[in-house]
Amino acid sequence: MAEGEELMADLRIAYTEEMVGSGHPTKSDTLNRLALVEHNADGTHKYLRNDTLDFDLREWLPEGFVTDGTADYSSQIQEAVDYIESLASGTGGVLQLPLGYWHLGEGAAGLTLPEGITVRGQGRPEYVNGDMAGGTWLIYDGTGDCLKVDGEWSGFNARRNICLEGFGVKLTGANSFLNADFLTQFRLTDLNVRGSSTYGIYALNSYNGLASRVKIDGPDNALYFSIKDSPNDVFSGQMLFEKCDFWNGTGKGIHIKTNVNVLAQMVFLACHFKTNAYGAYIEGANMHRVNFRGCHFEANTTNDLYVHSDVTQGPIVDGCHFNNTGTVYMMNCQGDKANIIGNEFAGTGTGWGILNNGDDNYIARNHFQGLANSKQIVVDTDATYSIIGKNTFSNSTGRVVDNSTAGTTSFEGETILESKEFDLSASVETEVKFVALRDYWIRDVSILYVEGTSGDAGVALQFGDSDSLTRYVSHTSDVSQSNYTVVTPTLASAYIARNRKLTFRCAGSKTGAGTAKFVARLLPFANI
């Protein structure tokens, strides 16, 4: 080292450089760039570069652009999206939508979204007195899809990492707000979808996604989520919807469907299903658990929650609130292996709480509040091997009605049971059987006529376990539903041991047509 020279001290150089791409309408060659350079005393170097793909829509808009939704900027928005895709190569990029209303035109197609893009609005998109108020909004008047994602089956070429955040969408006659095929690892957050369309979200073969605080209000069907009839082994599911609203559709709030492939583990957490025809509609033989936890179902006109008969792994419905003033079944479970636990079924209508027509369903710890119809749990004709646990009824006449023919319903709590109708012709003898999951006492039993001619000879009802049907109730004249006699058996004669089959046998002695039912209160023996 020559005299007077010194070792180079550690030196760090930081700089930014903006080189805008040649395709940009207002700037030259671009890459937003931050570079860090370290030069060390020993002559070594370090270099770090970070490319940030974060763009504002205003960079593509013409001078003097307006934000009131009157101008069509669909081509500029699509150009911005395509430009980010060309730079990101699937690694991700953000398009910021400024405050205001942005019109996507009236064509058959809206925007096509590439893999890895985030579209982010600003502010809080509210809808007040039937119109947009504040925040960022997209306005789509076309007949196609406002936003579209096209993935492919081949090679699992799904579209990944698409995020939509913090904006509203106003639709007029569109097919859907979002039409997605083979979409995965996606996130929908703080969206407000309003107006008329066939679907809010239409998703096929999509999985591993999150929707949080998404409100869909007005489309005929707010959410359709399905697996195609494909010969390939498609697994779709692992979806979480939290604090979402599905409102005011003429069809289904949500429609979850499988065909030949598996759809599993979809969770709806604290969501709200209101004033649709169906709040939620689930179908498909390869459905593996759709879970509703802490949700609210309100005033849906056909069923609040419908489970199709081909569902073999039914939903878990836990801690939800159903409120309906109509003449409908709040939950209509035609499928199998559903767990309906700890919910409240409330309303002032003459409808029913739960219709169970599936197999191996478990209904327990639910509360039925204020329903005028006394038949609040109905076990229908095809139900087998279902368990009715401890449920509570604020209506003193609240009861379980069993119309099943298989005779395999089981009870594990205090239950007021109403039977199916019995034919009262003298030549017919009918039995209904239940499995006692614990020791039971038949607290009281009564017979009521549904139809009959006053003064005719009546009906005799025997009950007991399968080996001994010596206890009986009988009536020799007509008894109306509003004035029937309650018979209280003695404790010794009304005991049914656990795992024994509890049998009710009804025989009539009428000469003409007629039907009757019986009502029995089953009380666990340990509770008396």
Pair (47, 78) in one structural domain: no
The answer as to whether 389 is a domain residue is: no
| CB distance 351 to 375 below 8 Å | no
Pair (45, 89) in one structural domain: no
What pairs with residue 296 in β-bridges? 272, 321
Pair (32, 87) in one structural domain: no
- Alpha-carbon dihedral 83, 76, 202, 237, rounded to 10 degrees: 30
d(CA 204, CA 199): 13
Look at residues 159, 177, 197 and tell me which one is the last residue of a structural domain. 197
Domain that holds residue 42: 11-51
d(CA 39, CA 294): 58
Structure confidence at residue 289 (pLDDT): 81
The angle subtended at Cα 160 by Cα 156 and Cα 161, nearest 5°, is 165
Q: Which of 459, 452, 453 is nearest to 485 (CA)?
A: 459
Pair (98, 173) in one structural domain: yes
The answer as to whether 381 is a domain residue is: no
Look at residues 197, 228, 251 and tell me which one is the last residue of a structural domain. 197
Pair (147, 31) in one structural domain: no
d(CA 226, CA 203): 6
The answer as to whether 400 is a domain residue is: no
d(CA 139, CA 73): 10
d(CA 496, CA 214): 52
55-82 average pLDDT score: 92
The answer as to whether 257 is a domain residue is: no
pLDDT band at 524 (very low <50, low <70, confident <90, very high): confident
The answer as to whether 491 is a domain residue is: yes
AA letter at 356? N
Residue 100 has pLDDT above 60, yes or no: yes
Residue 122 has pLDDT above 90, yes or no: yes
Look at residues 197, 216, 242 and tell me which one is the last residue of a structural domain. 197
Q: Which of 434, 514, 524 is nearest to 478 (CA)?
A: 514
pTM of the model: 0.81
Pair (112, 184) in one structural domain: yes
Pair (73, 124) in one structural domain: yes
34 φ/ψ angles, rounded to the nearest 5 degrees: -125, 125
d(CA 275, CA 465): 46
The answer as to whether 418 is a domain residue is: no
Pair (156, 36) in one structural domain: no
What is the total count of domains within the chain? 3
How would you label 413-446 residue by residue, b for 16+ Cβ within 10 Å and e otherwise?
bebbbbbbebbbbeeeebebbbbbbbebbbbbbb
Pair (140, 172) in one structural domain: yes
Residue 43 has pLDDT above 60, yes or no: no
Number of H-type helices and E-type strands within the chain: 1, 50
Q: What's the maximum distance between 2 C-alpha atoms anywhere in the chain?
A: 132
| CB distance 416 to 446 below 8 Å | no
3-state secondary structure string, 44-88? CEEEEEEECCEEEHHHCCCCCCCCEEEEECHHHHHHHHHHHHHHH
- Give the residue carrying structure tokens 């969408």: 169
176-199 average pLDDT score: 92
What pairs with residue 442 in β-bridges? 522
Pair (92, 150) in one structural domain: yes
The answer as to whether 367 is a domain residue is: no
Ordered DSSP codes for 121-164: --S--EEETTEEESSEEEEE--SSEEEEEE--SGGG--EE--EE
pLDDT band at 326 (very low <50, low <70, confident <90, very high): confident
Structure confidence at residue 417 (pLDDT): 81
Pair (72, 175) in one structural domain: yes
319's torsion region: left (phi>0), alpha (psi -120 to 50) or beta? left
| CB distance 173 to 198 below 8 Å | no
Contacts of 309 (CB under 8 A, 6+ apart): 334, 335, 357, 358
Number of other CB atoms surrounding residue 128 within 10 Å: 8
Residue 501 has pLDDT above 80, yes or no: no
pLDDT in tens, 165-174: 999 999 988 8
Pair (19, 118) in one structural domain: no
pLDDT in tens, 272-292: 999 999 999 998 877 778 999
The answer as to whether 271 is a domain residue is: no
Report residue 205 CA to chain centroid gap.
Answer: 17
Residue 433 has pLDDT above 90, yes or no: no
